[in-house]
Amino acid sequence: MQRYDQKRAPAVTAQDEFFEFLFSGSAVTYADLKSKSTKQEPLTPSTLKGVTLTFVVDADYTITRTRLTRNVVGIVEGSDPRLKSTYVGFGAHYDHTGYRDNAPVTRQGQSPPGDPNDRINNGADDDGSGTVALMALARAFATGPKPRRSLLFVWHAGEESGLLGSRYHADFPVVPLDSLVAMLNIDMIGRNRDNKETERNTVYVVGSDRISTELHNLNEEANASLAKPLQLDYEMNDPADPESIYTRSDHYSYAAKGIPIIFYYTGPHPDHHRPSDSVEKILFEKMTRITQLVYATAQRAANLDHAPARDNKGPRAVGEGKREKGEGKR
């Protein structure tokens, strides 16, 4: 899904220790670069001193299979003549992982839940739930009162293959990227984490405070305005989260370009990426309430007279989340 007609700089992935070493002889420190990039501040070009890097690149490849796909996009026009050229975006992915190739045995050597002859990874939660939530949101905004800004709905392709559709759309957006004031991504909102009944009121909110505190606050206010507010859990927004959930769904492609995002998620469960992620397990009432939260948040963001301020303070909700959980404040 990358465009082969355009040059792309090679990306190098390594741990912090490597980069600290790499910059150790230079005037610029790695810590400084990292903190500037977190704050979305411009990085000035500099030269590495005292190190020589040699890359051995084997760029030979054979194309074994080409598959083409599309993102699906819809727009509902806003009501304000000036603000309607700016957008609140919504994302969900409509691809999934296809068929299970191998014999139905789990890593622990047991049979997984569900029909052993069913080889289709149904993806009802991942991300059938987000896909239909977006359709409901699009219908609500198309038929109900119009906010001042326009609404952009993107059903992304290729998420499971590495956020391909969202990365493509962030690189080649259908509306100017600087007109997108926020991106609300929904990926798996139809279940309880690990099937725990105690989770029935919980939605994991990831990334909301990282780029725009104002957007984070809009989501909190929107939740408080609901007849039955949800428990907003920020555990998975912890930068030390071993699963790195913040980088693992389509919102990340937009966040990487500095756009304020919120990721809504109800957490992992044993049916993830298995045939047993099937529709009869979807908790429709919970899913509806989360979709109503997304609606209320979007409505607020789309009616603001200014774009949600990008203060780039990074994740702060870790402690808050724990406090709330521990002391039952919310």
Q: Which residues bind Zn ion (CB under 5 A)?
A: 126-127, 187
Question: In whole angstroms, how close is the CB of 159 to Zn ion at the nearest point?
Answer: 6
Which is closer to Zn ion, CB of 126 or CB of 199?
A: 126
Question: In whole angstroms, how close is the CB of 127 to Zn ion at the nearest point?
Answer: 4
Question: In whole angstroms, how close is the CB of 187 to Zn ion at the nearest point?
Answer: 4
Tell me, letter by letter, the H, E, C secondary structure of the chain: CCCCCCCCCCCCCCCHHHHHHHCCCCCCCHHHHHHHHHCCCCCCCCCCCCCCCCCCCCCCCCCCCCCCCCCEEEEECCCCCCHHHCEEEEEEECCCCCECCCCCCCCCCCCCCCCCCCCECCCHHHHHHHHHHHHHHHHHHHHCCCCCCEEEEEEECCCCCCCHHHHHHHHCCCCCHHHEEEEEEECCCCCCHHHCHHHCCEEEEECHHHHCHHHHHHHHHHHHHCCCCCEEECHHHCCCCCCCHHHCCCHHHHHCCCCCEEEEECCCCCCCCCCCCCHHHCCHHHHHHHHHHHHHHHHHHHHCCCCCCCCCCCCCHHHHHHHHHHHCCC
Which is closer to Zn ion, CB of 126 or CB of 277?
A: 126
CA-angle at 283, arms to 210 and 201, nearest 5°: 50
Which is closer to Zn ion, CB of 235 or CB of 250?
A: 250
Which is closer to Zn ion, CB of 79 or CB of 97?
A: 97
Question: In whole angstroms, how close is the CB of 80 to Zn ion at the nearest point?
Answer: 34
Which is closer to Zn ion, CB of 127 or CB of 235?
A: 127
Question: In whole angstroms, how close is the CB of 211 to Zn ion at the nearest point?
Answer: 21
Question: In whole angstroms, how close is the CB of 296 to Zn ion at the nearest point?
Answer: 23
Which is closer to Zn ion, CB of 76 or CB of 205?
A: 205
Which is closer to Zn ion, CB of 38 or CB of 97?
A: 97
Question: In whole angstroms, how close is the CB of 166 to Zn ion at the nearest point?
Answer: 11
